[in-house]
Chains A and B, each alone.
Chain A
Amino acid sequence: MLARPGPDAGEVAWDNYLHLRDNPAGVTEELWQHDGGCGSWLVVTRDTVSHVISKVEMAADVKRAMQAAS
């Protein structure tokens, strides 16, 4: 999950967002789409070493929670 910088955030911020990665070997949060089913966007917590999925949330719910928190 990456926070999108504002349009005028500059080259370094956009490079960070678009290209540079922590590339973790372990637990990571990603945006997935249930392409072969209902089309929902999901926030999936997944281990990149074991492929174990430990948590799945509706992206819309996560977004609402983020907006409520900010």
Chain B
Amino acid sequence: MRFSGWRVLREGLTGNKGWAPHWRDPEPKAEYDAVIIGGGGHGLSTAYYLAKNHGMTNIAVLEKGYLGGGNVGRNTTIVRANYGQQGNSEFYSHSLKLWEGLEEDLNYNAMHSARGIINLFHSDGQRDAFARRGNMMINQGDDAELLDREGVRHLLPYLDFDNIRFPVYGGLLHRRGGTARHDAVAWGYARGADQRGVDLIQQCEVTGINIENGVVKGVQTTRGAIRAKKVGIVVAGRSGQVAAMAGMRLPIESHVLQAFVTEGLKPVIDHVVSFGMGHFYISQSDKGGLVFGGDLDFYASYASRGNMPMMEHVMEAGMTLMPMIGKAKVLRSWGGIMDMTPDGSPIIDKTDTEGLFIDCGWCYGGFKAVPGSGFSFAHLMATGNHHAPAAKFRLDRFRTGAGLMDEEATGAQHNLH
């Protein structure tokens, strides 16, 4: 089934009776060439690119819940390529290029919207830091423009420019940044993988990893044992637990990150905007809800919900920056479990077990990485070689201290990012 404007029109005129399920619901086979543990954004994109780029179609994605039920459906959907550290820069740059061709490639409407991201600054020192970041983005081949106060006022007239404590000095505009509909991204990759023969197996929790003489042999699941020549662990916040099945301890702590959405409003916020003096960022969804969030709650958690102090901080920061949103009613808040690494950057690597690979540590920024991560992880799993844009995401960088990517320059230790 292909989507097209013509198809939508025809279905609309004939009572929408011709739509079929987007993917099959197969029984697990006894053996695959490769299995991917985790049917989130990264697991599904990995499966898609294994099939599409490497011709590996005798593979399965094993998901303990339902496809897209994890963080891929819980994030605030921001897509950007504005990183500053070597290693991250080239990776996110590659990922953003994949985003730009994604909907045509998948024949799926992911509502990718390059509406522009504006990171505001509120002091001379912050201006210098953002000017430097903008230059790094341009050096990487991506786009950045430094806006002065009037430039920001032109785009975001609703800000409290003369706030007594945190006046707006200007902003860094990244025009190609924006948002996408998160669950459509998961569904698009799922459908694309399924069409190429990948088995997407839901309600199938991996409970053990079979290893013999240092070589991976398959997995134990709630739907029986499955043999596999290669296994990829792509389980985001659950990385520590699944890696423990293979006897590994990871440089990862799971933390909760919250987000909030208001009632639907008419279009009022046209970009993604972030505050430079507190943890607050915001965009408006196509349904009209203001979607916003802040920082981690900063304690280890698997609860998928946060607590009041961060909620209060986020609301205060929002009111400081754009008092107009104070009249909007918050409808919902929720949390997701983030796989935090000590330096805040991800891991795409082999493990000490032959045939066992791991893709994790996406922290609070892995949605934008969904295309790039799947592309690079599939390359590693299929060829055994690191893919150039992700070659620095090494598991051993913490032990050796070489190649740390600490974007915030706070130190490569837990609880600092």
Contact = CB atoms under 8 A, between A and B. Distances in A.
B302 A25 contact: yes
Contacts of A15: 398-399
Contact of A50 (B241, B303, B342): B303
Contact of B398 (A18, A30, A46): A18
Contacts of A23: 240-241, 250, 252-254, 300
B303 A48 contact: yes
Contacts of A48: 254, 300-303
B59 to A, nearest CB: 28
Contacts of A19: 251, 342, 398-399, 413-414
A11 to B, nearest CB: 6
Interface string A37-51: 000000000101111
A8 interface: no
Interface range for A: 10 to 19
A12 B398 CA distance: 10
B10 interface: no
Contacts of B97: none
Most B-side CB within 10 Å, residue of A21, A22, A49, A50: A21
A4 B240 CA distance: 21
B57 to A, nearest CB: 34
B302 A21 contact: no
Interface size class of B (residues with CB under 8 A): 20 to 34
Interface in B326-362: 342
Contacts of B253: 21, 23
Contacts of B240: 21-23
A49 B256 CA distance: 11
A57 B124 CA distance: 45
A30 B299 CA distance: 9
Contact of A21 (B251, B299, B307): B251
B249 interface: yes
A20 interface: yes
Interface in B348-403: 398-400
B197 to A, nearest CB: 34
Contacts of A21: 240, 249-253, 414
29 contacts: A11-B399, A11-B400, A12-B399, A18-B398, A18-B413, A18-B414, A19-B251, A19-B342, A19-B398, A19-B413, A20-B249, A21-B240, A21-B251, A21-B252, A21-B253, A22-B240, A23-B240, A23-B241, A23-B250, A23-B252, A23-B253, A25-B254, A28-B300, A46-B299, A48-B302, A48-B303, A49-B302, A50-B303, A51-B301
Given A25-B241, A48-B302, 6 more contacts: A11-B399, A12-B399, A18-B413, A21-B250, A23-B240, A25-B254
